[in-house]
Amino acid sequence: MLLEKMTMEEFSVALEKTKTLAVPYGTLEAHGKHLPLYTDTITMCRVLEEAALERDFFIAPPVHYGVCTSTGQHPGSIGITPPTLRRITTDIVTDAYARGLRNILLISGHGGGAHVAAMKESAEVLAATLPHLTIAALSIYDVIWDDLERLAETENDSHAGEMETSIILHLAPKLVKGRGAEEYPAFTKPLIFADKVSQWPGAVWGNPEKATPEKGRELFLAMVRVTIEILKKMDEAAR
């Protein structure tokens, strides 16, 4: 159930059936020369919409801006800071709780460490302060490693590479503009570089040339499956 399309009366009626809200998180972030800036957002929104065909829950409008560290200087990336993301998350969940929602899934199509950490830090505080709240905070990529390893031909595939290109080929093929070149960041851990673009000019981590719509469909269905499993666990925990 898309929350933004409901009337207040429809919301009140639906609240009798479910008190679960999923909040999709995305980014406006460089994804190579071939993928749209809102790749993370469209992926997570479509996964939740598909999951909602099997379970009753509310889907909030996406948090369309995220914390972008490695890609923050690339053309088109517009990000927010971790404190801002924590504040947004806290406000959304607190007000949703005040409206009667008790199970909150915060789920991101972006897997950046600082981004996901900000979500989880907010969730920890909210869980400790709001009684009877069941909450989860994660990136979808945290829970599909087995599927990624099974589907990807590219070793160490990640951002805008084989699998992320595949999922957009499946979900929105007209938005894929050719293929970016195979590339991997030159970051030397644990060093932190101020000039990220010089270390990673193309914003691709993997080999987009190996992407196919078929791999994208399998990955998409895996994401839907694990999302439904998480929602089931949340419902069970809330009883």
Quote the percentage of the chain above a pLDDT of 90: 92
**b/e sequence 148-185, b meaning 16+ C-beta within 10 Å:** eeebbebeebbbbbbbbbbbbbbbbeeebeebbebbbb
- From residue 85, alpha-carbon distances to 16, 79, 97, 99, 160 in Å are 30, 10, 18, 21, 23
What span, in angstroms and rounded, lies between the C-alpha atoms of 81 and 189?
Answer: 22
Residue 187: pLDDT band (50, 70, 90) is confident
Tell me the three state secondary structure of residue 9. Answer: helix
What span, in angstroms and rounded, lies between the C-alpha atoms of 49 and 52?
Answer: 5
For the chain, domains (ranges, CATH) are 3-238 (3.40.50.10310)
- From residue 25, alpha-carbon distances to 13, 59, 61, 209 in Å are 26, 11, 9, 27
DSSP structure string for 57-116: -EEPPPB-----STTTTSTT-----HHHHHHHHHHHHHHHHHTT--EEEEEES---HHHH
| pLDDT value, residue 192 | 86
66-89 pLDDT, tens per residue? 999 999 999 999 999 999 999 999
Judge if pTM exceeds 0.75: yes
pLDDT higher than 90, residue 21: yes
Can you read off the two tokens belonging to residue 185?
């960041």
Helix then strand then coil, in percent of the chain rounded to 5, is 50, 10, 40
Q: Determine contact, residues 57/100, Cβ cutoff 8 Å.
A: no
| pLDDT value, residue 190 | 87
The letter for the amino acid at 174 is K
- What integer is the mean pLDDT of 206-212? 97
What span, in angstroms and rounded, lies between the C-alpha atoms of 2 and 25?
Answer: 15
What span, in angstroms and rounded, lies between the C-alpha atoms of 12 and 9?
Answer: 5
- From residue 32, alpha-carbon distances to 74, 80, 230 in Å are 9, 20, 31
pLDDT higher than 80, residue 239: no
Residue 237: pLDDT band (50, 70, 90) is confident
22-32 pLDDT, tens per residue? 999 999 999 99
